[in-house]
Amino acid sequence: MATTTPDTGARNGVTGTGGGGETAPMTHRQIMEALSGLLLGMFVAILSSTIVSNALPQIITDLGGGQSAYTWVVTAALLSMTATTPLWGKLADLFSKKLLVQIALIVYVAGSVVAGLSQSTGMLIACRVVQGIGVGGLTALSQIILAAMIAPRERGRYSGYLGATFAVATVGGPLLGGVITDTDWLGWRWCFYVGVPFAIIALIVLQKTLKLPVVKRQVKVDWAGALFISAAVSLLLIWVTFAGDKYDWMSWQTAAMVGGAILLGAVFLLVESKASEPIIPLRLFRNRTITLASLASLFVGVAMFAGTVFFSQYFQLARNESPTMSGVLTIPMIGGLFVSSTVSGLVITKTGRWKAWLVSGGALAAGGLGLLGTIRYDTAYWHIALFMAVLGLGLGMMMQNLVLCTQNQVAPADLGAASSVVTFFRSLGGAIGVSALGAVMAHRVTNYVKEGLAELGPKAAAALGKGGSGGGIPDMDKLPAPIRTVMEDAYGHGVADVFLYSAPFALLAFVVTLFIKEVALKSNKAESSDEAAEAKA
């Protein structure tokens, strides 16, 4: 039996969660005061994911890594974020949400500080795992706390603020990372240190402004479920990363890893079906909207992370731009994301209708990725900018609103679990997408380089060796002009293939959203709770 003890002076949103009474609604100013620390935490989380994107070529070169390490520096954080998101969400239903988000910030700070001291790619990857655990908490808890403070109808407006923060951090991260990397007296290590002050400020602001009711419940955390889902996801991502490189896609290693992941997934489902407080309550998937929103989020994750991870390689290796300019050149995509997430949030708040935004977003994301699949190293930039803007508009319409439509369909007791389920599938799609597409790109680039060198003649391979690529990330400035053109063409074509292969996933997200039943956003939490059961149809 759950009881609710309000914090002293708590201003806990539109309705209370205990005692059956309603409290006075928070004013916009009060909400923004409480939301400021939350938005700052979200900013830190996204910043940590994007700030390394334009610095990665330099980081991997300095630490002596190759394409596999390049991919794993990104994937490691996504993996730990994905695996721990359901756990953070479930803990939010059992413990103080305020305490949990503060713990997530502390974990992030610890991982960031040690990451900046890394002496090898292995050490950096391990630190990125720790960072990812903190980021998983920040991304999941931001949505959950927002929902705990604000009624569904008003939530669209404030979800737009989260989307805008995501956009600013996404564009600010690569720009800041590029400037830091290009500044001699700073260097790439400051890409990990720079988020620490923001995280500390977020801790202080949250302590002073975030007032939520404390729900006291008898708690039994499903650690077995957390273990098995983490193991299943990890094994799947390890297979995707190395398949086609270390071993063939059709091999005994593939059979062992895929079979092991399926077995671990089956054990996880068995554990969840018997757990009193499961990490992911399987009964949630009886609700069609939650099931379809989770599936759409899985596909959106592939598109979203493909758009943020691989552009740095395109601009730096295919177009010879600096890390700073690589960030500047991605502004059209982030601008589109910023505009669509903000505008859609405001319109959804006024109308209570959200499905048209999801459907339109899926169509635009698929179209943008398909267009980006046609680019080459010498494509006119204004074409690329237009294609990026289309992709950004689509992603902005989908990401926050998939969580929003899910939150509208569950009782308050399941708010954390339901929100984190959608976030989990988005992160899972991104992690699998980055791993698989990174492996595909490495394979395609190798083939394009071989084809280009064959056209140049037998002396090309020897000249490439003198250029010092060594099988890792090439230093374009050290390559002879004809071979440099071959490498630029190979990376331009390889990244385009990544976007082309991502487009069908965005198209699947579009198709899935067509089948989601629209239920208008409720004007208060009580109404949302009372009608949650009706949405299962």
Mutual angle of helices 67-94 and 56-63, in 10-degree steps: 110
What tens digit of pLDDT does each residue of 228-241 get?
888 888 888 778 76
Residue 463 pLDDT greater than 60, yes or no: no
pLDDT of residue 380: 94
Quote the tokens at residue 509. 């997200």
The full DSSP string for 210-253 is ---PEEE------HHHHHHHHHHHHHHHHHHHHBTTTB-SSSHH
pLDDT, mean of residues 529-536: 44
Q: How confident is the model at residue 262 (pLDDT cuts 50, 70, 90)?
A: very high
Which residues, listed in sequence order, are joined to residue 214 by a DSSP beta bridge? Answer: 5
Cα(537)–Cα(534) distance, integer angstroms: 7
Residue 310, amino acid: F
pLDDT, mean of residues 299-309: 77
pLDDT of residue 469: 45
Looking at mean pLDDT, say which of 94-98, 130-134, 399-403 comes out highest: 130-134
Looking at mean pLDDT, say which of 152-156, 277-281, 401-405 comes out highest: 401-405
Helix, strand and coil in the chain, % to nearest 5: 75, 0, 20
Which of the pair, 11 or 108, is modelled with greater confidence? 108
Least confident of 152-156, 216-220, 454-458: 216-220
- Are the C-beta atoms of residues 367 and 336 closer than 8 Å to each other? no
Residue 16 pLDDT greater than 50, yes or no: no
pLDDT, mean of residues 9-23: 39
Q: Which distant-in-sequence residues (6+ apart) come within 8 Å of 446 by Cβ?
A: none
Residue 535 pLDDT greater than 70, yes or no: no
Which of the pair, 311 or 384, is modelled with greater confidence? 384
Q: 512 vs 229, 293, 361, 412, CA distance in Å? A: 24, 8, 12, 26
Which of the pair, 11 or 451, is modelled with greater confidence? 451
Helices and strands, counts by H and E, the chain: 20, 2
pLDDT of residue 260: 93
Which of the pair, 204 or 14, is modelled with greater confidence? 204
pLDDT, mean of residues 284-291: 86
pLDDT of residue 351: 82
Residue 222 pLDDT greater than 80, yes or no: no
What tens digit of pLDDT does each residue of 349-368 get?
788 788 899 999 999 999 99
pLDDT of residue 529: 43
pLDDT, mean of residues 75-83: 79
Q: Which distant-in-sequence residues (6+ apart) come within 8 Å of 431 by Cβ?
A: 75, 78, 79, 81, 82, 233, 237, 301, 305
pLDDT of residue 167: 65
Q: 525 vs 4, 195, 227, 308, 487, CA distance in Å? A: 16, 35, 33, 35, 57
Quote the tokens at residue 398. 């989908």
Q: 193 vs 105, 128, 206, 334, 524, CA distance in Å? A: 14, 13, 21, 24, 41
What tens digit of pLDDT does each residue of 168-180 get?
776 677 778 878 8
Which of the pair, 117 or 144, is modelled with greater confidence? 117
Residue 64 pLDDT greater than 50, yes or no: yes
Mutual angle of helices 67-94 and 415-456, in 10-degree steps: 170
What tens digit of pLDDT does each residue of 194-214 get?
888 888 888 888 888 777 665
pLDDT of residue 12: 37
Residue 165 pLDDT greater than 90, yes or no: no
Cα(198)–Cα(200) distance, integer angstroms: 5
pLDDT of residue 216: 55
Residue 349, amino acid: T
pLDDT of residue 464: 56
Assign 3-class secondary structure to 247-261. ECCCCHHHHHHHHHH
Residue 323 pLDDT greater than 70, yes or no: yes
pLDDT of residue 369: 94
State CA 16 to chain mean position distance: 31
Q: Which distant-in-sequence residues (6+ apart) come within 8 Å of 457 by Cβ?
A: none
Q: What percent of the chain has pLDDT over 90?
A: 16
Q: How confident is the model at residue 36 (pLDDT cuts 50, 70, 90)?
A: confident
pLDDT, mean of residues 246-268: 88
